[in-house]
Chains A and B, each alone.
Chain A
């Protein structure tokens, strides 16, 4: 799993790549996001364009990211979803939970 964090003004853009699956990417994503929240970041975009595979644990991590952010008074938005992730969000009705954007730039500008 790959991670890099870029500051875009007051928005934190987290580029995530690789697989978010049980036992591999799921815990890393949680830790990285918590780091940002604990630093007081309030506007976070997860760019999922390079995520090649996600399972139910990975979806659970996206949900946990959303709820952790809310607890910290922050907001998480998703950008650059692959067709498969988009389909999974629709099937699980998580598309009604997340704000999603076609590009990271659009997500950053939306705050």
Chain B
């Protein structure tokens, strides 16, 4: 993959085994972007969580539906942006249970979005018309 790659678009069908491939592409994409290897691991985890959510909850593992991943690394910019789109209707992002609360600690699910919020600098949720739900992860280079 060229070192000066500024944008990478991937479209994958809704199969969980493809998340590994998305992670690998992300690692290649940020390799020369000034993000430290340790931070890359945490962001890779965040991307896995977002892609898995898109496949499981957005597209309900319907293989005819796609997940679109757009990675942007603008020249001279201070940040790397990754947007992950599914074909679902989204969810109420303000009403997610806090997995660190005592009553939720023993729940096996519900930590994905929480982890994403810990490891990237900004998280934005976007609805698009007529359908589709996206999550945008922004990573500032100066924090990397």
Chain A contacts to B: CB under 8 angstroms: 21-24, 53, 55-57, 59-61, 63-64, 66-67, 84, 88, 91-94, 96-97
Contact = CB atoms under 8 A, between A and B. Distances in A.
> Chain B contact residues (Cβ within 8 angstroms of A): what range?
20 to 34
Contacts of A84: 41
A56 B112 contact: yes
Contacts of A93: 100, 105
B100 A63 contact: no
A94 B106 CA distance: 8
Most buried by A among B16, B19, B41, B108: B108
Contacts of B108: 60-61, 63-64, 67
Contacts of B52: 22, 55, 57
B131 interface: no
Contacts of A22: 16, 19, 48, 52
Given A22-B16, A60-B111, A91-B118, A55 B105 contact: no
B99 interface: yes
A94 to B, nearest CB: 7
Interface string B47-78: 01100100000000000000000000000000
Given A92-B100, A92-B114, A63 B17 contact: no
A64 to B, nearest CB: 5
Nearest to A91: B118
Given A96-B105, A97-B105, 7 more contacts: A21-B48, A22-B48, A56-B109, A56-B115, A59-B111, A64-B108, A91-B118
A24 B48 CA distance: 13
Q: Which of A55, A84, A97 has the most CB of B within 10 A?
A: A55
Contacts of B45: 53, 55
B14 to A, nearest CB: 12
Contacts of A53: 41, 45
B106 A92 contact: no
A90 to B, nearest CB: 10
Closest 7 CB pairs of A and B: A60-B108, A23-B16, A56-B111, A93-B100, A56-B112, A64-B108, A63-B108
